Amino acid sequence: MAEGKFLLSDSFPGNGRNKYCLASKIPLGVVLCIPPFNYPVNLAVSKIAPALITGNAVILKPPTQGAVSALHMVHCAHMAGFPKGLLAAITGKGSEIGDLMTMHPGIDCISFTGGDTGISISKKAGMIPLQMELGGKDCCIVLEDADLELAANNVIKGGYSYSGQRCTAIKVICVMESVAEELVKKIVEKMTKLKVGMPEDNCDITPVVSESSANFIQGLVEDAKTKGAKFHQEWKRENNLIYPLLIDNVTPDMRIAWEEPFGPVIPVIRIKTVEEGIHFCNANNFALQGCVFSKDINKAILVSNAMETGTIQINSAPARGPDHFPFQGLRDSGIGTQGVTNSIHMMTKVKSTVINLPVESYSMG
């Protein structure tokens, strides 16, 4: 990259002006990009573009369930005239080729979006820059003065779109008891309008990605049911197709309160105080995004500041974009910050060239 700095040696007392330092940004080398199945093109491009902009070569490891679209994208790049070897794709199961790729000495940086696998990668990768987004349990706090219609609409959009298979989906609702009944009623009414079926029929709720994912979701639901949660819809599953579900009166002893279902199932926790909701949000291992609904912007900002998570949306559902916004998680939700500018900085390193002059040199004036 051309961006750099010109530094002089006498910026601190005791040093003469006889050294010029030319600090420049240079590429890391080869960046391994591993996007997830739910956004196999967008989240691939958000990694590939900054890597190429900064002069790196890229190896793309597409998700097994999203490999076809990623391979088409790489093929388009080759047809457009990309130099041979600049952008390559390697397919295969992560369980079979993952360690070989992430621990290979030829890899100089890893940008990964996915689940717990990222924690294993971070322990094995060695001393190279890592950019990781590993999922979330995005908490939605609804205060007493919230616009409940707005909050309900955003729960539908933010919790059930993509069948809940988004790291930034609303994964738990903490709502003040005084407005909980009304909010739940609005959400349930809107859920009845969701169309359930196959993607080719332009449905709102479609099958989750795999049978193992559906089985995991069912395990969370059954655990909540045995521990006394209230169901506002009948639990219904057809193979990988899981019908949308709102689980009410969830308590901290239920797995659904803490674990990420990655499906169209949302738990509701009724809270007596705002502090209770903040504490619940901060107690989770995941800390990617969250949201606060309140008509009082001052109150919303105070709650936002107290929530220990990567991004807080005020009066809107969590969302990753736009792509130039910083995107990061705390704790088990990841390492580093994404977003075009942040990725560009992460995918370069600084190199310095120091010119030593025989005598001190000063500019005129």
**How many Cβ atoms from other residues are within 10 Å of residue 172's Cβ?**
26
Task: State how far the Cα of 174 lies from the Cα of 202, in Å rounded to an integer.
Answer: 31
Predicted local distance difference test score (pLDDT) of residue 364: 65
pLDDT of residue 3: 64
Per-residue pLDDT tens over the stretch 288-333: 999 999 999 999 999 999 999 999 999 999 998 788 888 899 998 9
pLDDT at 47: 94
Q: Provide the pLDDT for residue 291.
A: 96
Integer angstrom CA distances of residue 6 from 11, 12, 18, 181, 354: 12, 15, 13, 62, 10
pLDDT string in tens for the chain (365-residue length):
556 788 888 877 878 888 889 999 999 999 999 999 888 888 899 999 999 999 999 999 998 888 899 899 999 999 999 998 899 999 988 888 888 888 999 999 999 998 888 888 888 888 999 999 998 999 999 999 999 999 999 999 999 999 999 999 999 999 999 999 999 999 999 999 999 999 999 999 999 999 999 999 999 999 999 999 999 999 999 999 999 999 999 999 999 999 999 999 999 999 999 999 999 999 999 999 999 999 999 999 999 999 999 999 999 999 987 888 888 999 989 999 988 899 999 999 999 999 999 988 887 65
Q: Is 255 exposed, middle or buried (0-12, 13-18, 19+ CB in 10 A)?
A: middle
Spatial separation of the C-alpha atoms in residues 179 and 184, rounded to whole Å: 9
Write the secondary structure of 247-290 as one string of H (helix), E (strand) and C (coil): EECCCCCCHHHCCCCCCCEEEEEEECCHHHHHHHHHHCCEECEE
Q: What angle do CA 233, 234, 238 make, to 5 degrees?
A: 120
Q: Look-up: residue for tokens 């790049």?
A: 77
pLDDT value for 7: 82
What pLDDT was estimated at residue 182? 97
- Residue positions annotated with a catalytic role: 133, 167
> In sequence order, which residues have a C-beta less than 8 Å from that of residue 161 and are 6 or more positions away?
169, 204
Percent of the chain residues past pLDDT 90, beyond the cut: 74
- Give phi and psi for 103, each to the nearest 5: -105, 5
Distance CA 234, CA 283 (A): 30
Distance CA 213, CA 105 (A): 33
Q: What is the pLDDT of residue 200?
A: 93
Sheet (strand 4-8) strand order: 4-8, 19-27, 348-356
Write out pLDDT tens, residues 138-186: 999 999 999 999 999 999 999 999 999 999 999 999 999 999 999 999 9
d(CA 139, CA 142): 10
Tokens of 286: 């995941």
Q: What is the pLDDT of residue 219?
A: 96
pLDDT for 106: 93
Average pLDDT, the chain: 92
Indicate whether this model's pTM tops 0.95: no
